Amino acid sequence: MANKRVRALTTDGELTWCSAEPENRNKGNCKHIGHYRNEQEQLAGQEEFIRGELKLVGLPSGVETQVKELSRTREIEERLSICKDIASAIIARNPNMPPSTLEKLASDDKSYMQGSAARNPGTPVSALEKLATHSDPYLRSRVAQNPSTPETILEILAKDGNESVRVNARNRLNPYKPLLPNLPIEDMKRLASSENHYIRASIAQRPSTPIPLLLELMKDEHYIVRVAVARNPSTPPETLSRMSWGDKMSVIEAVAGNPSTPAHLLERLAGSPNEDVRIAVASNLSTTVSTLEFLARDNNVFVKDAAVGNRSLPVESLLKNSEAIDSRNVATADISSDLLAELAGYEDLEIRGAVAKNSNASPNTLRELAKSPEKEIREAVVKNPNTPAEVLFDLEMGQ
């Protein structure tokens, strides 16, 4: 008689079927971490998985409450997805995560954990080196985007068989650096016809390149050249508009990040199904407040963080959109010190605690927060690298 299949949970939190004999489960060829005979056991196993994942990365204050609230309003599969988003964001953005933890996560069985570790600037080079040879191009691409990845690894990734990996590595290496600061127009025209597309891209990215030449390079057969045109702040708005339709996603992303892109075009690109395009719009200082407010409510945590961290978004807008100003965003986003100073006076305990964790908080802001009666806020101040030595001494002495 054939063995009865049971529902089982993978290391990534996905539900599949397992046909292994009971005595062979959780070992050998069986890679599942839980087996369930009925729906009640299955739900309990998924709940345990969520708690374990969030405990592993250190759930910030405030997010825990939101996760508990989700358990009453969302289906288990949706909560698993949100759990992964939160865990990934915490790992990728936490500047204080110990290197030893990041190295362990980089070797984790869960691909989204590995991907998040690959994005964190604090991940040790040894771990990045291993991830750079991973079979999954997604992980190699994240390594290429990491600002701490050394050039020796980037040079290898720049020759990767996957296009996305190559582009990200080459963008970091910037192989089309400006040739000369004061290049004559005749030389620009000659080099714009070079057989080497990196040389053509070098001309395409120069703000001093004449508009007619940019218009020619906009039609270049190689997307690297078109990306350079799309990034150039001297590219005319009507040209950027044309480039935002029907081209490679890397070109459209470059348009979304260009400070010269018109507000109405950024508003349209804010609705793109591609998260990298939305992140570029959310990071663009030319994006209007209304568009940033829209992106601050995005379902993608990285898009939301970029919008909240945009210095063009005033504190009034953040306070008006309570769902955009959760403590995790304030603690991790690239928020100006002036804005953090305003948020430090906010009544919400979790928001003030998140300000104390933000590495952009000024010494004066941290000095004021150190006077808080709440122990968790004072503890966050102690851990902040910007806290003045005398404040740390006062806190240690209990003053």
Specify the higher pLDDT residue, 85 or 204.
Answer: 204
Specify the higher pLDDT residue, 73 or 354.
Answer: 354
Residue 88 has pLDDT above 70, yes or no: no
Specify the higher pLDDT residue, 393 or 117.
Answer: 117
Confidence of residue 72 (pLDDT cuts 50, 70, 90): very low
Evaluate whether 17 touches 36 at the Cβ level (below 8 Å).
Answer: no
- pLDDT digit string (tens) for 106-143? 887 666 678 778 888 888 999 999 999 998 887 898 89
- pLDDT digit string (tens) for 312-334? 877 556 655 545 555 555 666 66
Residue 294 has pLDDT above 50, yes or no: yes
Q: Lay out the sheet containing 34-36: strands in order across.
A: 15-18, 6-9, 34-36
% of the chain surpassing 70 pLDDT: 76
Residue 157 has pLDDT above 50, yes or no: yes
User: What is residue 54's predicted lDDT score, i.e. its pLDDT?
Assistant: 57
Evaluate whether 49 touches 13 at the Cβ level (below 8 Å).
Answer: yes
User: What is residue 55's predicted lDDT score, i.e. its pLDDT?
Assistant: 58
In 245-328 the beta strands, taken as DSSP E runs, fall at: none
For the chain, give percent helix, strand, coil, nearest 5: 60, 5, 40
Specify the higher pLDDT residue, 56 or 143.
Answer: 143
Q: Give the Cα separation of 168 and 156 in Å (integer).
A: 12
Confidence of residue 105 (pLDDT cuts 50, 70, 90): confident
b/e for 313-345, b at 16 or more Cβ within 10 A?
A: bebebbeebeebbbbbbbbbbebeeebbbbbbe
Closest CA to 230 of 220, 246, 218, 248: 218
CA torsion through residues 317, 262, 332, 276, sign: positive
Residue 311 has pLDDT above 80, yes or no: no
Residue 6 has pLDDT above 70, yes or no: yes
pTM: 0.48
For range 252-280, the mean pLDDT:
93
The DSSP bridge pattern shows strands 6-9 and 34-36 to be: antiparallel
User: What is residue 346's predicted lDDT score, i.e. its pLDDT?
Assistant: 74
Closest CA to 330 of 52, 250, 315, 202: 315
User: What is residue 93's predicted lDDT score, i.e. its pLDDT?
Assistant: 55
Q: Give the Cα separation of 70 and 75 in Å (integer).
A: 8
